Amino acid sequence: MPRSWVAQTLVESVLIVFGVVLGLSATSWYEHRRAVADSEAAFARVVAEVAANRESLNGVRAYHRELADALVRRAGVDDGIGASMSDMVDTLGRPLDAPLDDGETLITAFVDIAHQGVGDLFLQDVAWSTAQARNDLALVDFEDVQEIARVYRLADDGVTSTWRAIAGQLQAASALDPAGYDVATRRMAFGYVELVAQENYLATEYDRVLARFDER
């Protein structure tokens, strides 16, 4: 067998193997780049959702503070929500000094001051939940995902949970019972005071997290 033929066959074999390896490498590189692009797009959607939630929260915070102030005053704290927490707790922990109006209930009192209802919260988590379900954020920096996860947890365990509890109080039988007006009104006042504090903190966290990504 001529050496030239053997050499030629060897070169061709090497070129074929090299071509296969190069092709596989190119395919792997392309798939990785596509996965990175998909992760970045999913993360961008999540960040946009956080920004939309911040706008929604800021749109209702003033009204919730207004309700908290009115309820606290109705429950006997003259300085309203501006009172110190210790004075508020001390006053709200005592029975009302003034006689109650006949037939007054939490519902009638609430309707009198709540011109926009309970002040619905429209905090969304569709983009976040979808990204988690599809594992779309696997290639995003861990600390970035951690920061986003934190604000979603704050929203779920804080303002959303408290707001649902407030809405539940209005659906309870005690909300229509004049005999339960005292306790029900104080519970509602405490609920809105807590909600306002949680919303203020969440708004600060929204600003901080979004500023982190706006700088890039």
Tell me the C-alpha distance between 116 and 67, whole Å: 10
pLDDT of residue 104: 81
Question: What local confidence, expressed as pLDDT, does residue 164 receive?
Answer: 93
Question: What pLDDT, on a 0 to 100 scale, did the predictor assign at position 99?
Answer: 43
Contacts from 57-62 at CB under 8 Å and sequence distance 24+? 57/121, 57/123, 57/159, 57/199, 57/202, 57/203, 57/206, 58/203, 60/119, 60/120, 60/121, 60/199, 61/196, 61/199, 61/200, 61/203
Burial class (CB in 10 A: 0-12, 13-18, 19+), 62: exposed
Per-residue pLDDT of the chain (216 residues; tens, 9 = 90+): 455 665 556 555 555 655 555 555 555 545 556 767 888 899 999 999 999 999 999 999 999 999 998 888 887 776 677 766 666 666 666 655 444 556 788 888 888 888 888 888 889 999 999 999 999 898 889 999 999 999 999 999 999 999 999 999 988 888 888 887 878 888 888 899 999 999 999 999 999 999 998 865
pLDDT of residue 12: 54
pLDDT of residue 98: 47
Q: Which residue has the tokens 């392309």?
A: 30
Contact 172, 181 (CB under 8 A): no
